[in-house]
Amino acid sequence: MWYERFLGPLGVDMGIDLGTCNTLVAVRGQGIVLNEPSVVAVKKGTNQVLKGGQAVGWVAKEMLGKTPGSITAVRPLKDGVISDFEITEAMLNYFITKVTGRVRMLGPRVVISIPSGITAVEKRAVFDSAEHAGARKTYLLEEPIAAAIGAGLPFAEATASMIVDIGGGTTEVAIMSLADIANCESIRVAGDDMDEAIISYLKRNYSMMIGEQTAERIKIQIGSAAPVGEETEMDVRGRDMVSGLPRKTKITSEEIRDALSEPVMNIIEAITRTLERAEPELAADLVENGITLAGGGALLTGLPVQITKATGLDVALAEDPLTCVARGTAIYLENIEVWKDTLENNSDI
Ligand code: ADP
Ligand code: MG
């Protein structure tokens, strides 16, 4: 638009990583300006967002598992699918408004990264939500591409690179070359499933119930995919399933590694399957370029070692894996004029 040459600075350009656990917003020239859990508080049994729509993000996450009878906190993207369009829209609206402020002459241009596994209907819903929230132009970008850009991979060049983005609800595995995805797979096994595996383990072996937040803490503190460093232990509090009373117990890092072995194996299998499907020339490039990990789940201790063991390839963590996708969307925005034709076209929406 001709007026953007004059009004451009008034409008905000933002990149949004709409994650199953966390939503991040990066603004051109400012870096990451918002980083909040993808959680919304609603009236129980309805999809009615709490009055004023303020119970989103951190405020709502505090409520998870602790809400009084009439309220529940939900994660509308939990499994990488949008479980409720209205709640997702309310969340996106809240985050966009929080960043732009209420009064703006010009709506923002928005690049939203979405899990590559979501359906056309879900894409449409995300797209519409952004428009309803006042976006003047909306682009959807597949998450592996955003992750690859954020990780600084040579994704537009004639050499293959592989990115594995392990989030809360989904793991996205993709081989990229010449600014396009050559092979990819999205599975619904990621960080949340690791937490679930820890919950089951304590149930099975200690007859103890623990909450999701506790399970996540155990995973982060003493969880691992392979034995690296010293073995440790941790006190865990929960509820005894027999007596029904609160109790504490000690667990070791070996036990938690054992508990995590199944989700870890599922993730590694998705990686090897994708490698097996790659064209020989691309596979050859990967011997040089290796595999790059992004997303919070990539921070699990010993995961790179375990993936190297299974694939024989070098595995590196992207710098700051939790913000990789959001930074990628911001870089995409800066280059949007060059890239918008080559990347995900939004014409099918
Ligand atoms: P999404 O993109 O789906 O919102 P994120 O990339 O934000 O997900 O990652 C969230 C996941 O990363 C959660 O399951 C969280 O428990 C996990 N996570 C965060 N930090 C660590 C860590 N240090 N070790 C293991 N897992 C972690
Ligand atoms: Mg993510």
Query: Each residue's pLDDT tens digit in the chain (349 positions)?
Result: 555 555 444 567 899 999 999 999 999 778 899 999 999 998 887 778 876 657 899 988 887 766 667 888 889 888 877 888 888 888 998 898 888 875 566 778 999 998 877 889 989 989 998 888 888 899 999 999 999 999 999 988 999 999 999 999 999 999 999 988 999 999 999 999 999 999 999 999 999 999 999 999 999 999 999 999 899 999 999 999 999 999 999 999 999 999 999 999 999 999 999 999 999 999 999 999 999 999 999 999 999 999 999 999 999 999 999 999 999 999 998 888 877 766 654 544 5
Residue 340 neighbours by CB under 8 Å, 6+ apart: 139
The verdict on the CB of residue 167 being under 6 Å from ligand 1 is yes
pLDDT in tens, 252-285: 999 999 999 999 999 999 999 999 999 999 999 9
CB distance 168 to ligand 1 below 6 Å: yes
| Residue to probe by mutation, ligand 1, list 220, 257, 292, 306, most atoms within 8 Å of CB | 220
Ligand 1 atom 7 nearest Cα: 22
Pocket probe for ligand 1: among 18, 22, 194, the residue whose CB has the most ligand atoms within 8 Å is 22
Which-ligand-closest: CA of 21? 1
Is residue 27 a contact partner of residue 99, using CB atoms and an 8 Å limit?
yes
Distance 3 CA to ligand 2 centre (A): 34
* Residue type at 51 in one-letter notation: K
CB of 216 closer than 6 A to ligand 1?
yes
Q: CA-CA distance, 138 to 94, in Å (whole number)?
A: 16
Q: Check if the beta carbon of residue 176 is closer than 8 Å to that of residue 148.
A: yes
CA of 45 to the centre of ligand 2 (A): 28
Give Rg (Cα) of the chain: 21
Task: Mention every residue, 6+ apart, whose C-beta is less than 8 A from residue 257.
Answer: 223, 224, 225, 226, 227, 302
Q: Which atom of ligand 1 is nearest to the CA of 80?
A: 3
CA–centroid distance, residue 347 to ligand 2 (Å): 24
Residue whose CA lies nearest to ligand 1 atom number 8: 167
Dump strand ranges (E) for 104-143: 109-114, 137-142
Distance 325 CA to ligand 2 centre (A): 6
Name the residue of 16, 21, 303 to mutate for ligand 1: max ligand atoms within 8 A of Cβ. 21
- What is the tens place of the pLDDT at every residue in 278-306? 999 999 999 999 999 999 999 999 999 99
Work out the end-to-end distance of the chain between its first and last CA atoms, rounded to an integer number of angstroms.
Answer: 22
For residue 104, the CA-to-ligand 1 centroid distance in Å is 34
C-alpha 223/C-alpha 237 separation (Å) is 16
From the CA of 201, how far away is ligand 2's center (Å)?
A: 26
Ligand 1: which of 219, 253, 319 to mutate, judged by most atoms within 8 Å of the beta carbon? 219
Cα torsion 200, 39, 130, 121 to 10°: value is 30
Comparing CA positions, the residue from 164, 169, 170 lying closest to residue 184 is 164
CA-to-CA separations, 339 to 107, 145, 147, 178, in angstroms, rounded:
22, 12, 15, 11
In sign, the C-alpha dihedral spanning 209, 212, 218, 219 is: positive
Quote the tokens at residue 222: 């003493």
Closest CA to 88 of 155, 20, 161: 20
* 16, 27 Cβ separation under 8 angstroms: no
Largest CA distance in the chain: 71
Cα separations in angstroms, 39 against 28, 74, 147, 191: 25, 6, 22, 16
Please work out whether the CB of residue 299 comes within 6 Å of at least one atom of ligand 1: yes
Structure tokens at 279: 């064209």
**The model's pTM:** 0.92
> Does the beta carbon of 19 lie inside 6 Å of ligand 1?
yes
